C-alpha cells in the first residue's frame, strides 16, 4: 500500500469507531500554554511575536491544541474527536523532523475511563492493521501506579509532593532519591520561605483564585509542605522500595502477580494497586504487551495509562495515554477526564 493512502484508510477506522473530525488552531498563545501546562513545553515550541507584540507559537502538540479548542467551544457533553494535521516542535535530536504529520483521536468527558482507554488503544491498533503494518509491538506504563505507591509510603508530605512533582524529570528525580536516601533535604531557608508565604496568605480572601486555584487550596498545600521533613528515619528503606518498583518490567498478563509479590515483600497495604482494570483490558488486545513501571515519564500531563506502538524495526508509530488534569490546567474549572492517541505519519512513510 502506498503511503499516500495511509490517512484515508486510518480515517475510515476513526469514523467507523464513532470519532468526528475536529480542526484545532495552528497558532496558539505561547504564554498561555507555558503558564498552564508547564515549562517543559517552552523548549519544544517554535515561537514568534505577532504585530501587537504578543508571543505566539505554532502548536507543539495536537492534544493540547485539541483541548484548547474543546474548552473554547464550551463543550460539556461526552466528545469523541479525531484530527489530521501537523505539530511543530523542536527536538534534542537533530535528526528528528520539526514538522510532525499526525492523525489522532481524543475522548473527552466520559465517565467510563477503563473502557475509553481500551477504546483508544483498540482504534489505533485497528488503524495500523488496516494499513497492513505487521509485526508491531506495544509498550505500556501507568504513571498513576507510581502516584499510588508514593501516597502509600510513610514519608513526610513534603517528600511525597516533590517526588510526584519531579517524576517527569528522571535525572533530577534520581538526585532526589539520593538526597532522600542520605536524609539531606532542602535548604532550611526554603522551608522558612514557605512558612512566610503561608502566613501572608492566611490574610487573603479564601475564595480568591491565584493561577487557577483558590487561596484555600494553596494554603492547604502549604500546610502540608511546611512541616519539617527532617525527622524521617526510614529513608533508605523507602528509596529501596521506590527503586525496586521502577524496575518492574514484564508482559502485561504477569503484572498483577508481580505487583502483588512486590506489595507483600515490602509490607505495603494490600489495596495499593487495587484498580488495574485498564491494564487487564489491554491484555485482551495482546497478552504479550510489555508493561514497565518506569515508562511514560517524558510528557508531564499524563495521569494514567501511557502506551507506544512500534513497527518491526522498533520505530515508534503511535503513542497515547490518559491525561485527566490537562483540561483543568488549560482553564477548565474542574478536572475533565480525557484520553487520546496519535499515529506518527512521518514514521509510516519512511
| Average pLDDT of span 248-275 | 92
**CA-to-CA distance for 239 and 237, rounded, in angstroms?**
6
Q: Confirm whether 261 is domain-assigned.
A: no
Asked if 12 and 88 sit in the same domain, the reply is: yes
Say if residues 48 and 57 touch (Cβ distance below 8 Å): yes
Q: Confirm whether 165 is domain-assigned.
A: yes
Q: Confirm whether 242 is domain-assigned.
A: yes
| Average pLDDT of span 240-254 | 95
Q: Confirm whether 226 is domain-assigned.
A: yes
Per the structure, the complete domain to which residue 171 belongs is given by 157-246
Q: What is the CATH number of the domain that holds 337?
A: 3.30.930.10
Asked if 17 and 132 sit in the same domain, the reply is: yes
Asked if 26 and 82 sit in the same domain, the reply is: yes
pLDDT on residue 50: 85
| 45 burial type by CB count under 10 A (0-12 exposed, 13-18 middle, 19+ buried) | buried
Compute how many other C-beta atoms are within 10 angstroms of the C-beta atom of residue 37.
20
pLDDT > 70? residue 233:
no
Q: What percent of the chain stands above pLDDT 70? A: 88
Residue after which a domain boundary falls, among 246, 265, 285: 246
| Average pLDDT of span 123-140 | 92
pLDDT > 50? residue 228:
no
Residue after which a domain boundary falls, among 246, 279, 303: 246
The structural domain count of the chain equals: 2
Asked if 234 and 184 sit in the same domain, the reply is: yes
Q: How confident is residue 334, by pLDDT bands cut at 50, 70 and 90? A: confident
Asked if 127 and 58 sit in the same domain, the reply is: yes
Q: What percent of the chain stands above pLDDT 90? A: 48
**207: which 3 cell numbers?**
475564595
Place of cell 524521617: 232
Least confident span in 137-146, 244-253, 272-281: 272-281
Residue after which a domain boundary falls, among 204, 226, 246: 246
**CA-to-CA distance for 274 and 4, rounded, in angstroms?**
45
pLDDT on residue 1: 39
Q: Confirm whether 297 is domain-assigned.
A: no
**Mean pLDDT, the chain, integer:** 86
Asked if 196 and 82 sit in the same domain, the reply is: no
Asked if 216 and 329 sit in the same domain, the reply is: no
Q: Distance between terminal CA atoms of the chain?
A: 13
36-52 pLDDT per residue, tens: 666 667 778 888 888 88
The model's pTM: 0.81
Residue 156 main-chain phi, psi, to 5 deg: -55, 145
pLDDT > 90? residue 230:
no
88-100 pLDDT per residue, tens: 988 777 777 889 8
Compute how many other C-beta atoms are within 10 angstroms of the C-beta atom of residue 242.
20
Residue 213 or residue 327, greater confidence: 327
**CA-to-CA distance for 240 and 204, rounded, in angstroms?**
42
| 81 burial type by CB count under 10 A (0-12 exposed, 13-18 middle, 19+ buried) | buried
Residue 35 or residue 141, greater confidence: 141
Asked if 7 and 117 sit in the same domain, the reply is: yes
| Average pLDDT of span 297-325 | 92
Amino acid at each position: 500500500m502506498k503511503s499516500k493512502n495511509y490517512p484515508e484508510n486510518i480515517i475510515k477506522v476513526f469514523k467507523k469507531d464513532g470519532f468526528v473530525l475536529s480542526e484545532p488552531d495552528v497558532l496558539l498563545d505561547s504564554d498561555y500554554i507555558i503558564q498552564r501546562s508547564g515549562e517543559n513545553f517552552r523548549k519544544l515550541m517554535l515561537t514568534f511575536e505577532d504585530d501587537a507584540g504578543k508571543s505566539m507559537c505554532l502548536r507543539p502538540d495536537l492534544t493540547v491544541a485539541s483541548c484548547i479548542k474543546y474548552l473554547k467551544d464550551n463543550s460539556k457533553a461526552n466528545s469523541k474527536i479525531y484530527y489530521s494535521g501537523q505539530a511543530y516542535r523542536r527536538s534534542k535530536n537533530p535528526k528528528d523532523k520539526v514538522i510532525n504529520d499526525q492523525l489522532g483521536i481524543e475522548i473527552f468527558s466520559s465517565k467510563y475511563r477503563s473502557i475509553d482507554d481500551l477504546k483508544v488503544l483498540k482504534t489505533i491498533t485497528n488503524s495500523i492493521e488496516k494499513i497492513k503494518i505487521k509485526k508491531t509491538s506495544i509498550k505500556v506504563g501507568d504513571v498513576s501506579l507510581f502516584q499510588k505507591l508514593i501516597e502509600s509510603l510513610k514519608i513526610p508530605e513534603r517528600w511525597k509532593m516533590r517526588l510526584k512533582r519531579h517524576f517527569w524529570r528522571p535525572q533530577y528525580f534520581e538526585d532526589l532519591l539520593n538526597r532522600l536516601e542520605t536524609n539531606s533535604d532542602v535548604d532550611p531557608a526554603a522551608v522558612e520561605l514557605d512558612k512566610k508565604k503561608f502566613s501572608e496568605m492566611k490574610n487573603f480572601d479564601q475564595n480568591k483564585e491565584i493561577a487557577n486555584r483558590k487561596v484555600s487550596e494553596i494554603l492547604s498545600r502549604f500546610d502540608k509542605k511546611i512541616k519539617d521533613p527532617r525527622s524521617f528515619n526510614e529513608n533508605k528503606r523507602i528509596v529501596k522500595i521506590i527503586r525496586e518498583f521502577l524496575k518492574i518490567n514484564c508482559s502485561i498478563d504477569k503484572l498483577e502477580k508481580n505487583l502483588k509479590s512486590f506489595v507483600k515483600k515490602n509490607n505495603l497495604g494490600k489495596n495499593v494497586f487495587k484498580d488495574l482494570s485498564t491494564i487487564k483490558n489491554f491484555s485482551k488486545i495482546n497478552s504479550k504487551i510489555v508493561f514497565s513501571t518506569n515508562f511514560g515519564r517524558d510528557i508531564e500531563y499524563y495521569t494514567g495509562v501511557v502506551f507506544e506502538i512500534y513497527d518491526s524495526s522498533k520505530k515508534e508509530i503511535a503513542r497515547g495515554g490518559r491525561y485527566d488534569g490537562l483540561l483543568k490546567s488549560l482553564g477548565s474549572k474542574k478536572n475533565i477526564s480525557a484520553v487520546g492517541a496519535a499515529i506518527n505519519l512521518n514514521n509510516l512513510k519512511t
